[in-house]
């Protein structure tokens, strides 16, 4: 078989836990079913904006964006931003650009609001023409323009729906369609949008041109007011249904892009106008990703539909995992679960971490599908707000973990066996495990208490199929991992 170059994975894996700084829990103020409170959240000038597309104050599921402000140690509602009577699911997606709030509603409207005397006041409504199609899932203000994902359903049963991006610019009379950005093939173009400087990054996790649901990402650069395509790319090891490009986080010179179905998140570094694959983060236990949020050299990744165990305990809640950049690699440094415990035998299906945002000294996490507080109210949703920009012990965490354990795996690629070497800075209890790329544990060796210094353990790989595997070396709360390749 052709050998895939292994990507080194370095992971610290502490137990998922709630932080000592207790959050404020916010919920919708009505008992509407399927409220999905928190489907999107944002922070703006001391305000916390929460989408509540199931709000039925105007009419059934007309929707709202609820605006909260601080009140001592808590949060109070300041304003309900609501649509005209004919709108539906207002607030399912919205975005902020300076002092402008842009909100999408069904079937084909974009609503813009401006701050007037401290409150959001209606400015204008953009109606997407029937010929262009319905408004889909994303909107994105870019300076003074608005980028909107749309789709056009086909009348032919043999042709799939068609997705694209609409770019609107302000004119004296309102807004004018400036550009239509189209993909190479009908997929899910625009399912994820991200902006870094003058670079627009667009995900299409169903692009049919490279395989069945593998996914692809496009980059565009703005030139003379128009977005010009620069690159179309995907990582080296995609397989069918990976859904690469479902979630994207932008940094100045790097991208972090999720491949939703295999617990993998890829990082890309800028080289000139191109982005080159740099590292792979294997998020433990995750079958499907819901949230991805980055700031500086720190990254938060939320996994949904968790399985297996974490530190010997069944995973019944979906953690948010926190990573910090170290060179070209990303190191897991903490994790967080919902601060509200589950009832006995209950599993968390509320998508904790679906939306995350930080700023103004707070960190907010939503669980828009949470309905466990009342079995008769489906998908009510909730948002937790911590009084710190990162609700875990990152800032105070000592940096000595980097020298605590230094595993090496050789040979790599390997044949029927491989050796795992460890270098410990202090005596520790060591366990070595191997996982496949779906996160399934294939073997586990309890090495016992090992002295400081070097040691080596041989693993039998003769029964493994050719492919990529992850070797984990754990010493208490410290875990590091290495990716290895099995040859024929």
Q: Which domains does the chain have, with CATH numbers?
A: 24-386 (2.130.10.130), 401-486 (2.60.40.2550)
- The 3-state DSSP composition of the chain as helix, strand, coil percent (nearest 5) reads 0, 55, 45
Distance from C-alpha of 260 to C-alpha of 156, rounded to nearest angstrom: 30
Residue bearing tokens 């948010």:
320
pLDDT value for 272: 82
Q: Which residues of 188-205 are buried (b: 16+ CB within 10 A; e: fewer)?
A: bbbbbbbbbeebbbbbbb
Distance from C-alpha of 442 to C-alpha of 455, rounded to nearest angstrom: 22
Q: Which residues of 3-34 are buried (b: 16+ CB within 10 A; e: fewer)?
A: eeebbbbbbbbbebebbeeebbebbbeeebeb
pLDDT value for 399: 37
293 phi and psi, to 5 degrees? -140, 135
Note whether 95 and 123 are within 8 A (CB): no
pLDDT value for 340: 73
> E strands, 161-243, where?
162-171, 174-181, 192-196, 199-204, 216-223, 226-233
pLDDT value for 437: 61
pLDDT value for 145: 77
Strands 254-259 and 244-250 come out as: antiparallel
Note whether 265 and 248 are within 8 A (CB): no
Starting at the earlier edge strand, list the strands of the sheet with 467-475.
Answer: 441-450, 428-436, 467-475, 478-486
pLDDT value for 66: 94
CA contacts within 13 A on the Cβ side of 176 = 5
> How many Å from the N-terminal Cα to the C-terminal Cα in the chain?
7
Distance from C-alpha of 125 to C-alpha of 6, rounded to nearest angstrom: 51
pLDDT tens column, 47-97: 999 999 888 887 788 899 999 999 887 899 999 999 876 788 898 888 886
Distance from C-alpha of 232 to C-alpha of 410, rounded to nearest angstrom: 35
pLDDT value for 402: 41
pLDDT tens column, 184-207: 877 788 888 887 767 889 988 887
pLDDT value for 47: 93
pTM exceeding 0.85: no
378 phi and psi, to 5 degrees? -70, 135
- Can you list the residues of the chain whose pLDDT is less than 70? 1-21, 30-34, 85, 97-98, 131, 133-144, 152-162, 197, 209-211, 260-263, 284-290, 295-296, 303-318, 326-329, 341-350, 371-379, 391-406, 437-440, 476-481
413 DSSP assignment:
S
Separation in Å, CA 327 to CA 324, 330, 356: 10, 8, 25
């Amino acid at each position: 078989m052709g050998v895939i170059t292994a990507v080194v994975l370095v992971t610290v894996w502490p137990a998922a836990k709630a932080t000592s700084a207790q959050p404020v829990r916010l919920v919708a103020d009505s008992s509407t079913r399927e409220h999905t409170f928190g489907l999107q959240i944002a922070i703006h000038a001391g305000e916390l904006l929460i989408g509540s597309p199931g709000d039925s104050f105007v009419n059934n599921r007309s929707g709202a964006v609820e605006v909260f402000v601080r009140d001592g140690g808590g949060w109070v509602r300041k304003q309900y931003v609501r649509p005209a009577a004919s709108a539906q699911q207002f607030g399912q997606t919205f975005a902020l650009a300076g002092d402008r709030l842009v909100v999408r509603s069904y079937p084909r409207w974009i609503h813009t609001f401006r701050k007037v005397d401290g409150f959001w006041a209606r400015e204008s409504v953009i109606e997407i023409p029937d010929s262009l199609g319905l408004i889909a899932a994303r909107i994105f203000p870019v300076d003074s323009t608005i980028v909107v994902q749309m789709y056009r359903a086909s009348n032919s049963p043999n042709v799939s729906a068609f997705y694209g991006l609409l770019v609107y610019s302000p004119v004296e009379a309102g807004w004018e369609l400036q550009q239509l950005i189209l993909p190479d093939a009908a997929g899910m173009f625009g399912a994820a949008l991200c902006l870094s400087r003058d670079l627009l990054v667009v995900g299409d996790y169903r692009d049919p041109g490279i395989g069945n649901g593998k996914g692809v990402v496009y980059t565009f650069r703005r030139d003379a007011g128009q977005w010009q395509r620069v690159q179309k790319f995907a990582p080296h090891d995609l397989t069918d249904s990976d859904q690469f490009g479902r979630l994207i986080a932008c940094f100045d010179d790097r991208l972090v892009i999720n491949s939703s179905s295999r617990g993998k998140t890829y990082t890309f570094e800028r080289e000139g106008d191109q982005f080159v694959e740099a590292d792979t983060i294997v998020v433990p236990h995750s079958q499907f990703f819901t949230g991805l949020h980055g700031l500086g050299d720190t990254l938060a990744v939320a996994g949904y539909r968790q399985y297996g165990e974490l530190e010997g305990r069944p995973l019944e809640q979906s953690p948010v995992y926190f990573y910090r950049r170290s060179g070209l690699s990303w190191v897991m440094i903490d994790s967080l679960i919902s601060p509200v415990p589950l009832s006995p035998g209950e599993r968390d299906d509320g998508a904790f971490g679906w939306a995350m945002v930080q700023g103004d000294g707070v960190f907010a996490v939503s669980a828009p599908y949470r309905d466990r507080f009342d079995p008769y109210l489906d998908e009510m949703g909730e948002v937790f707000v911590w009084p710190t920009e990162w609700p875990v012990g990152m800032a105070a965490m000592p940096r000595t973990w980097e020298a605590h354990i230094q595993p090496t795996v050789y040979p790599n690629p390997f044949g029927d066996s491989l050796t795992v070497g460890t270098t410990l800075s202090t005596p520790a209890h060591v366990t070595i495990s191997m996982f496949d790329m779906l996160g399934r544990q294939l073997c586990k060796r309890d090495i016992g208490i090992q002295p400081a210094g070097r040691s080596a353990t041989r693993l039998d790989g003769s029964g493994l199929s050719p492919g990529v595997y992850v070797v984990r070396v754990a010493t208490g709360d410290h875990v590091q991992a290495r990716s290895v390749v099995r040859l024929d």
